[in-house]
Structure formats: C-alpha cells, structure tokens
Amino acid sequence: MAQLEIKSLTKSFGETHVIKGVDLRVEDRDFCVFLGPSGCGKSTLLRLIAGLEEASSGEILMDGKPITDLPPAKRNLAMVFQSYALYPHMNIRENMSFSMKLAKADPQLINEKVERAARILGLEPYLDRKPSALSGGQRQRVAIGRAIVREPRIFLFDEPLSNLDAALRVQMRLELARLHQDLKATMIYVTHDQVEAMTLANKVVIFSAGNIEQAGSPQELYRRPANRFVAGFLGMPQ
Ligand code: ADP
Ligand code: MG
C-alpha cells in the first residue's frame, strides 16, 4: 500500500484551475521530488497535501485512510517553507519546541527532542539566539529542525534551499540526503532546479500547468522521457 496516495485531485481558485486531476503514489521512505517551471502548481499541490489548502475535488489517502478533510495538525506531516517562517521574537529553542508545546507534550521530552534535532543539524551553539542573529543557512536548519522535532511520517519541503547561495545549497543538499537516510523518513520536495531534483530524488514527478507529465526514477526519465516537454525540461536534445 502506498504511504501517500493522491486520487484525481483538483484545485481551482475561482476560474483558475491550478491542479487539474493529479494521481500520484508516494511509497514509504521515498525521496519524491516535484519538478517543474515556476507557476505550474507545485506549491499548491504541496499545500493541499499539508492541508493548508482545501481540495476542489479528489482524495488524499495516508496508509489507505482518507485525510482530505483533516486539519493540518492531524495529518502526521511537517512542512518546511522557502521563507523559513520562523517566529522572530522566539529564540531557536522556542521556535523548535513551539508545536510540541501547543500539543501539551511533556517538557522534558520536548527538551530531549529539540536537543537531538539540534545535534543532528549542528545547531547546539545557537539554541538561545533569535533567528535574526543567524545566517540564512542556519535559519533554514532551524526550519528543518522544527519539522524533525515533530517526528512526522512525511516531510514536505517547498524550495527550501532557493534563498541560499550556490555553495551552501550544495552543502545543504548533501545534508538533506543524509537526513533522509538517518531519519528513515519519507520526503516530498518541491523545486524548479533540475540538478537538485536529480541528485536528491529516487522518484521525480515532472509537472507542467497543473498536470503530471511523467513520474519515475531519474534514470527512467533520462532514458525514456514521455514527451517533448519532459525532454526539454531535462535539457535533452529533441
Ligand atoms: P509553483 O509553486 O509551481 O510556482 P504555485 O502552486 O505557487 O506554483 O501557483 C500555481 C498557480 O496558482 C499560479 O498561477 C498562482 O498564481 C496560482 N495561485 C496559487 N495560489 C493562489 C491563490 N491563493 N489564489 C489565486 N491563485 C493562486
Ligand atoms: Mg512554489
């Protein structure tokens, strides 16, 4: 059974049809990357999975059970945003513990989880600082740490590295690959960067204008692009 299954999912904003009937399976421990040009609906699909947008029609299942009508907090997912979305008035420890405090978790357990995440991400020296005292790369690590603390079944990433410079992007890419292995988690990752997609993913989903053009391993896509759009987007001769 697929861990996450999306069936005939659509989303319109008024007359604008942004997601036009998406079917997709994401298996346990997949690193699944949504790749496509800007404006094609990648973030909207991710937000639908997270429950931050309401679907117009269709269904989302987790472990075979519908989650389409569940609020975000009940979906066993954690999302990492491009803009980091940290609370500026809270220090790093408070940023990382906030969701667990809301859920009224045991304070000692919260501490253990925050410190474990900080250790994984090399954030231990910064726990008492405010986000404004951190570099872009460190802020992005905090955003990832906040997701790790929640121990979700699935991590959702929306272009998490696009605000970082090129060298840091390469480093964070390696860290994300390591995290995926260490946490034994399922990751769904949105990007418009082909290199990022091909280095991170075991499954790439190519999008254009609200539709999936092709889904498969990087090797499959390079070997047998389904159409001219896919070939063109992967920079292959047509
Ligand atoms: P991507 O992440 O692939 O760049 P998005 O999912 O952000 O694409 O957006 C896809 C399309 O949906 C765009 O044309 C965007 O303007 C439109 N869109 C996204 N969110 C809204 C909204 N809340 N209201 C109206 N249009 C939206
Ligand atoms: Mg986007």
pTM of the entire structure? 0.93
Q: Is the pLDDT of residue 115 over 70?
A: yes
Mutation choice for ligand 1 from 16, 162, 189, 213, CB with most ligand atoms inside 8 A: 16
At 24-81, the pLDDT tens digits run: 999 999 999 999 999 999 999 999 999 999 999 999 999 999 999 999 989 999 999 8
**pLDDT value of position 73:** 87
Q: How far is the CA of 24 from the centre of ligand 1 (A)?
A: 20
Q: Is the minimum distance from the CB of 43 to ligand 1 under 6 angstroms?
A: yes
At 195-216, the pLDDT tens digits run: 999 999 999 999 999 999 999 9
Structure tokens given for 70:
């569940």
Residue 62, H or E segment? strand 57-62
**pLDDT value of position 162:** 87
At 137-192, the pLDDT tens digits run: 899 999 999 999 999 999 999 999 988 888 888 988 998 999 999 999 999 999 99
Residue 178's alpha-carbon distances to 137, 201, 209, in angstroms, are 16, 12, 32
Q: Distance between CA 54 and CA 134 in Å, rounded?
A: 34
**pLDDT value of position 144:** 93
**pLDDT value of position 234:** 86
Instruction: Mark 116-150 as b/e (b = at least 16 C-beta within 10 Å).
Output: ebbebbebeebbeebbeebeebbbbbbbbbbbbbb
What mean pLDDT value characterizes the chain? 93
Beta-bridged to residue 156, according to DSSP, are: 79, 188
Q: Is the minimum distance from the CB of 191 to ligand 1 under 6 angstroms?
A: no
Q: How far is the CA of 41 from the centre of ligand 1 (A)?
A: 6
Q: Is the pLDDT of residue 238 over 70?
A: no
Q: Is the minimum distance from the CB of 95 to ligand 1 under 6 angstroms?
A: no
- CB–CB of 53/44 below 8 Å? yes
**pLDDT value of position 129:** 97
